Amino acid sequence: MTNKWIKEDIMKLVELRKSVRTFEERPLSEEDRKEIRDFLECSENPFHVKVEFRFLESLEKSTSLGTYGVIKGATSYLGAMVQEGPMALEALGYEVENLMLFLVSKKIGTCWLGGTFKREDFKEAMVVPEGYLFPAITPVGYEKVEKSLTDRLARFIAKGNQRKAFEELFFQSSFQESYPREEDDLLSDLLEMVRLGPSASNKQPWRILVEDHGVHFYEKKTPRYSDTFPYDIQRLDLGIAACHFHLGALERNLHGEFITVGAGKKDLPEEMLYRFSYIFK
């Protein structure tokens, strides 16, 4: 698996990516729409799960689709859906974040929306089949320099620019020993890319355990956080973490493969769930 679409340095794009909530009220250019459609046709993930996208373009201002006032000025939206099954949400999280990093490179704004959109209205507009999970959408457009009051308030509440310390998230051999962050260390760079990733309510539920043969991804579940959803929404965040790590590894020729069974540690701390591993080749 390679990434032929993103030409810029992945770390740079990870650092530039942000949640855009206020957009210029103009449609995407035909060139940008075509590039997005071409990207979606080739989108894939290392978990080999089929993720489907819906692209609503150039919506009228009078549309009934809503985001509870969080998003201002957007005229286009992308939604992602997947059939329920093993690694389904992780695969969707991976592909949507990969798309968002591509759009950063095109200077097109996006914003992860998991709970702050009228799900049934968007499901109908995007023709989501029965039996599919439809956990997230994003507005797509050109960022407006002047931010709305709602945007500034949402940014303050989300505290999206604040991240947990490196040593709280990454470990070696056991969860009692933090992984040392060092200069000119490839793994440190890749883990930092994970640390900078977006997550629902900025909970940052990923934890990574480094061993000689690979790295193991765990979810540190936030108690009761997903109770209002019919699925564990924080699994999307693990997919985002996998995306950042994997794109960085591909760029730096650290080859490997994701596996989902048999590599997790036993006797885990409370609320910690093994999800998958990246095994070096």
Question: How buried is 281 (Cβ within 10 angstroms: 0-12 exposed, 13-18 middle, 19+ buried)?
Answer: exposed
Single-letter residue type at 17: R
Residues 6+ apart with CB under 8 A from 10: 101, 193, 244, 247, 248, 251
| Residue (of 207, 195, 214, 218) closest to 255 by Cα position | 214
What is the pLDDT tens value at each position of the chain, 281 positions in all? 657 778 789 999 999 999 999 999 899 999 999 999 999 999 999 999 999 999 998 676 545 577 877 899 998 999 999 999 999 999 999 999 999 999 999 999 999 999 888 898 899 999 999 989 999 999 999 999 886 666 666 555 556 568 999 999 999 988 889 999 998 899 999 999 999 999 999 999 999 999 989 999 999 999 999 998 999 999 999 999 999 999 999 999 999 999 987 666 666 777 789 999 999 99
Which helix (H) or strand (E) is 42 found in, with range? helix 30-42
Single-letter residue type at 278: Y
186-195 and 234-251 helices, crossing angle to 10°? 150
**Helix, strand, or coil here: 146?**
coil
- pLDDT of amino acid 268: 76
Residues 6+ apart with CB under 8 A from 270: none
**Helix, strand, or coil here: 208?**
strand
Q: Is the pTM of this model over 0.85?
A: yes
- pLDDT of amino acid 62: 42
CA atoms within 13 A on the CB side of 249: 22
> Rounded CA gap, 94 and 128, in Å?
20
The rounded Cα 66 to chain-centroid distance in angstroms is 21
> Rounded CA gap, 148 and 260, in Å?
43
> Rounded CA gap, 86 and 68, in Å?
32
